[in-house]
Amino acid sequence: MRSKNIKMIEISSELGAGTRGSSLGPAALRYADISKGRRKLNRYPFEWVDDINEKMRVPSKLEFGLNLNHIVKVLPAIADKVQKTLDDGFFPLILTGDHSNAAGSVTGVKQHIGNKRLGLVWIDAHADLHSPYTTPSGNVHGMPLAILLGEDNIENQSNDPDEETIRLWEVAKAIGGEGISPKVLASDIVFIDIRDLERQEWDLIDEKEIEFYTPKEIKQYGIETVAKETIEYLKDCDYIYVSFDVDSLDPSVSRGTGTPYPDGLQLHEAKTLLYHLLKHPKTIALEVTEINPLLDENNKMAKAVLEILEEVL
């Protein structure tokens, strides 16, 4: 990893989150680094993607796709920024507000690699496989992987979204051009540490035979084995994208995220996992998301994530 030419991309959009504050996550991480003397992150060049978070001043009328009308405007800008970063020869370290932004950043990688096959490691307490047809909350940060898969999960439909929501959902799935939808294949995804899912998501995982590791399996096999098995599972992919949602960490590390859930990764496990993934030559980008300092004490989550990044970058 030390040989990679890193550039940070800061994306503060929190349009997809259910709780305000994740827009401050990237800045909280950089502030944690500044407080330690700019030893790691702030030495890298960085760019940012303009957000339109001010649109949340008006409550969204889209019950099953909250703020989706604004999110579909942000996602292409994210995709283009990530693509350009890769085109310019940099390794993107993508710091985002909420996880809905991953639909844009992964699209940007696909725009760069074209028809090459992309593996996706989704380190998260949640599967983010909902669509407007299944979502229990309407929050789009629970939908980015369904967007990337082009998956509606109609078989498990529990909602009846209106025509505008359906139209915008189709727009979201087609971002980057219909020629690259789906952006990833179900066979090229590995979930690590998923543990807080709805029935519709588990049913889709079973139907698509998506590879996953629960906390029980991580404890059984050990995190180093999980990392090595993940890389082996994705061996036929040309590139690997790593998405690290901080709610994968156990709340004992910090509760500074919108949806903390028990039985997560400990700090040393996250370090080991990311170390093995990032040293692999096929890994093309790392995303860190859902840090929320407004739900934290003394910026603990950002400090914990910084400690991880200091060891693995």
Catalytic residue among 193, 245, 250, 269: 245
Query: What is the C-alpha separation between 28 and 213, in angstroms, rounded?
Result: 30
Catalytic residue among 33, 188, 247, 250: 247
Structural contact between residues 28 and 12, judged by C-beta atoms closer than 8 angstroms: no
Query: What is the C-alpha separation between 73 and 38, in angstroms, rounded?
Result: 33
Catalytic residue among 51, 98, 124, 287: 124
Please report, in angstroms and rounded to a whole number, the separation of the first and last CA atoms in the chain. Answer: 6
Catalytic residue among 128, 188, 201, 250: 128
Catalytic residue among 126, 130, 198, 276: 126
99 is catalytic: yes
Query: What is the C-alpha separation between 163 and 69, in angstroms, rounded?
Result: 12
Catalytic residue among 14, 250, 290, 296: 290
126 is catalytic: yes
**């996992």: which residue's tokens?**
273
Catalytic residue among 99, 112, 130, 276: 99
245 is catalytic: yes
The SS3 assignment for 161 reads coil
247 is catalytic: yes
Which tokens go with 124?
Answer: 């998260």
The SS3 assignment for 295 reads helix
Structural contact between residues 250 and 262, judged by C-beta atoms closer than 8 angstroms: yes
Query: What is the C-alpha separation between 212 and 123, in angstroms, rounded?
Result: 10
Angle between helices 102-113 and 68-87 (to 10 degrees): 40
Query: What is the C-alpha separation between 292 and 20, in angstroms, rounded?
Result: 8
Query: What is the C-alpha separation between 23 and 26, in angstroms, rounded?
Result: 7
- Biggest alpha carbon distance in the chain? 53
Residues classed as catalytic = 99, 124, 126, 128, 141, 245, 247, 290
